Amino acid sequence: MASSDMSECTDLDGSVSDCQSILKYDDSPTPNLSDGSGSPKSCSEDRLKIVSDLLMDYDSEVVQSESNLKDVPVMIFDEEFEDTTWNMMKSRQFILIYFMNFLSFFLTTYTVNTFKVYGLDHGMTDSYLSVVGSVGAGANSLRFIWSGALDKYSYKLVYGILLAVQFVFGMFIVTFKSDKYLFAFCYCMILFCGGGHSTLVPNIMKQIFGKKATVLYGFAFSFTGMISVVMILVQIWFLKEGSFYIFFLTGSAMSALSFIILIFFFKEEKYSGYRRDRVRSRAESYMTP
């Protein structure tokens, strides 16, 4: 006996019928549904087809067009349209987004924490570096440029450009450490890229996870806190006088690694994983009397 979580089904002609009779199995013959042309169709075949078609649109709780169902009556498993937050956090998409941004945000965090000491070591004054810090904060606030780019281009392209820019200026800030103007420009570009993370992450979360993105974003953005913990360990155990440049280069290398993951492993596709498997399993169970 299969139980139903639905109260009614809608046929193509707009009439409503009791779904309980469709999902309930007993010794009676399997009931039939009209295919829209008057010919009977097997409920078992219809149920699996309906669920399969509904899985194609994760964000929508209502099928937008009857033509999408190819003349199949509309039935919606409401509770199955949302997977749990924990299952989504275990998905490949979420883990890759988290790991890529953890790697790429390292350079921004390290630069903000050490640029003054690094600049002082190379002949710049404290007052000048304070101005550089203020200008850098302004560059960081230009993050809307990154989000605006998503209106025209894909996430992989926009984030890929961000990573490439970070990679270059992570090395340039070491190369031009003795030129205070080029140093300041490199610092501002790194912070400009850092600001992009806070707009690109929520956008790709919405694109992949739909209405669950708001909840997931709170967990996803914890990568900034994790980097802060790593930064404390770096400063305690590894950061010595004369070794500051090593971690600028490390930040560039981490951006390059994030770029590789983005190109070869990450896919911009809507999450379906656990929810899809569970609904399909449930649909198949309805096929068995």
Residues in a beta bridge with 34: 40
How far apart are the C-alpha atoms of 207 and 217, rounded to whole Å?
A: 12
Which CATH number describes the domain made up of 85-264? 1.20.1250.20
How far apart are the C-alpha atoms of 126 and 261, rounded to whole Å?
A: 39
* Structure confidence by residue, pLDDT tens digits, 43-97: 445 555 555 554 444 444 434 443 444 444 334 443 434 678 889 999 999 999 9
How far apart are the C-alpha atoms of 224 and 101, rounded to whole Å?
A: 9
- Relative orientation angle of helices 92-121 and 155-175, to the nearest 10 degrees: 20
Bridge-based pairing of strands 32-34 and 40-42 is antiparallel
Predicted local distance difference test score (pLDDT) of residue 276: 53
What rounded mean pLDDT belongs to the chain?
Answer: 77
Please state the pTM of the whole predicted model: 0.68
* Structure confidence by residue, pLDDT tens digits, 20-57: 433 333 334 444 444 455 554 444 455 555 555 544 44
> What backbone phi and psi angles, to 5 degrees, belong to 116?
-70, -45
Above 70 in pLDDT, residue 282?
no
Q: Which two tokens stand for residue 277?
A: 């498997």
Predicted local distance difference test score (pLDDT) of residue 243: 83
* Structure confidence by residue, pLDDT tens digits, 159-171: 999 999 999 999 9
Q: CA nearest 158: which of 188, 185, 196?
A: 196
Residues belonging to the chain: 289
Domain boundaries, the chain: 8-83+273-286, 85-264
How does residue 212 score in pLDDT terms, banded at 50, 70 and 90?
Answer: confident
Predicted local distance difference test score (pLDDT) of residue 67: 42
Cβ neighbours of residue 203 under 8 Å, at least 6 residues apart?
A: 147, 150, 155
Mean pLDDT in residue range 224-234:
89
Predicted local distance difference test score (pLDDT) of residue 273: 60
Predicted local distance difference test score (pLDDT) of residue 281: 57
Mean pLDDT in residue range 251-273:
93
Which residue carries 């829209």 as its tokens? 36
How does residue 254 score in pLDDT terms, banded at 50, 70 and 90?
Answer: very high
Predicted local distance difference test score (pLDDT) of residue 277: 53
The lowest-confidence range among 43-47, 172-176, 261-265 is 43-47
